[in-house]
Amino acid sequence: MWDELSPEQRELRDLVRTLARERVAPRAAEIDASHEFPWDIVELFRDNDIFGLFFEEAYGGLGTGTLMALIAIEEVAKVCATSALILAVQELGSLGLKLAGAPEQKEQWLPRLASGEWLCAYALTEAGSGSDSAAMRTTATRDGDSYVLNGSKRFITNASVANVYTVFAKTDPAAGHAGISAFVVEADTAGFEVTRLEPKMGIAGSTTGELAFDDCRIPAGNLLGEEGEGFKIAMRILDRSRPGVAAQALGIGQGATDYALEYAKTRETMGKPIAQHQLIQAKLADMETECESARGLLYRFGRMCDEGVDGPELTKASAMAKLKCGDVAMYATTEAVQILGGYGYIKEYPVERFMRDAEITQIYEGTQEIQRLVIAREMVKESRAFLLAGVA
């Protein structure tokens, strides 16, 4: 398959691909069936410095950039979406520090995240505020040299396994978006508790939970940026983290496509492999084309990030990658199940797991509906009148 990666990027991709196929793939079905967080996979990532792909060299990372990080998530997701999510959330949970952290905050937490010694999480969503962040009810009240947090968060990935959380709370409850601030909260802080873990349709080995803050007192120095900057920080984070979910989705879709292809080469009906039947060939061709088109949007975003692009262009590219990859994941996995027929519906074969895992990529980090709103909003801001010059 043709690609435009550098020799170093190919080498890193092949390392992650080999680890995924030889060490992660044999565990994938068991992780899904047990619903247990795979600490052995975390250890595998630590031992091979995979977490380092997401961090700069100054903080103990490899400094290989965004595109390489996305490729790593994609390769792991081809065999196990839960394991790929561990990587994606290490980026999501650390982006607040990377984008808005003071130098001393970065020094305090990023090296432990880069090594994988600590895991992290991102806590924005609440039971009554998902896409509508301004509706959040968690508060942070300044008290001397501390902030006191009260409230709860819902659907938080890595709940109970993360050592540190990026938490958003209202420092000015009457100010809407402008009243939101961002904080770093360590898991052993008094007044902080994980109160519930959710049983889920897919990504079963990943923990998704509810957080509670009951007079949770944190140092004032744990504030990220300034008071009232939380919403802007959250949106900048999501611009850069959504493609992590897109990479997970693409990996799921490509993994399902690859499995369906190999199955179709060996499964015979009417005296020949089903890969020689035109209707099956059409499905495989469409699955492959959709995955490749999604990869183009995803890698384009990665290169934009690595070249320092920011602002509306990056926002739009991020949403487009997330939208396309999530839809392709659901499409390709559904078609893979169809190609396998009855075998696709039973747990002996991995495509039913791929299909269950794919659906969440259309929901978290901003639903597909939100991505369409984001893309259209950025389009409306653009001036394209010059393209219509001379058109009657």
CATH number at residue 374: 1.20.140.10
Residues 208 and 341 in one domain: no
Residue/partner pairs of 364-369 with CB below 8 Å, 24 or more apart: 364/155, 364/157, 364/245, 365/92, 365/238, 365/241, 365/242, 365/244, 365/245, 365/322, 366/131, 366/238, 366/242, 366/319, 366/322, 367/131, 368/323, 368/326, 368/327
- From the candidates 126, 210, 352, 365, give the one annotated as an active-site residue: 365
Q: Give the other-Cβ count within 10 Å of 137's Cβ.
A: 14
Q: How confident is residue 356, by pLDDT bands cut at 50, 70 and 90?
A: very high
Q: How many distinct structural domains can be found in the chain?
A: 3
Domain that holds residue 258: 238-384
Residues 371, 262, single domain; the answer is yes
Q: Is residue 389 part of a domain?
A: no
Q: Which amino acid is at 380?
A: V
Of 77, 99, 115, the position where a domain reaches its end is 115
What CATH number has the domain bearing residue 140?
A: 2.40.110.10
Could you give the CA distance from residue 364 to residue 245 in angstroms, rounded to a whole number? 8
Domain co-membership, 102 together with 142? no
Residues 248 and 365 in one domain: yes
Claim to verify: residue 368 and residue 282 sit in the same structural domain: yes
Residue 392's SS3 state is: coil
- 365 catalytic? Reply is yes
Final residue belonging to a domain, choices 204, 230, 256: 230
Sequence-separated (6 or more) residues with CB below 8 Å from residue 303: 67
- What digits encode the pLDDT tens for the residues 1-57? 567 899 999 999 999 999 999 999 999 999 999 999 999 999 999 999 999 999 999
What does the pLDDT look like over 90-120, one tens digit per residue? 999 999 999 999 999 999 999 999 999 999 9
**Same domain membership, residue 165 and residue 30:** no
Whether residues 361 and 293 fall in one domain:
yes
Q: 365-374, pLDDT tens digit by residue?
A: 999 999 999 9
Question: What pTM does this model have?
Answer: 0.96
Radius of gyration from C-alpha coordinates of the chain? 22
In a shared domain, residues 172 and 310:
no
Separation CA 86–CA 84 (nearest Å): 5
Work out the angle at residue 53's Cα, subtended by the Cα atoms of residues 52 and 58, and round it to the nearest 5 degrees. Answer: 60
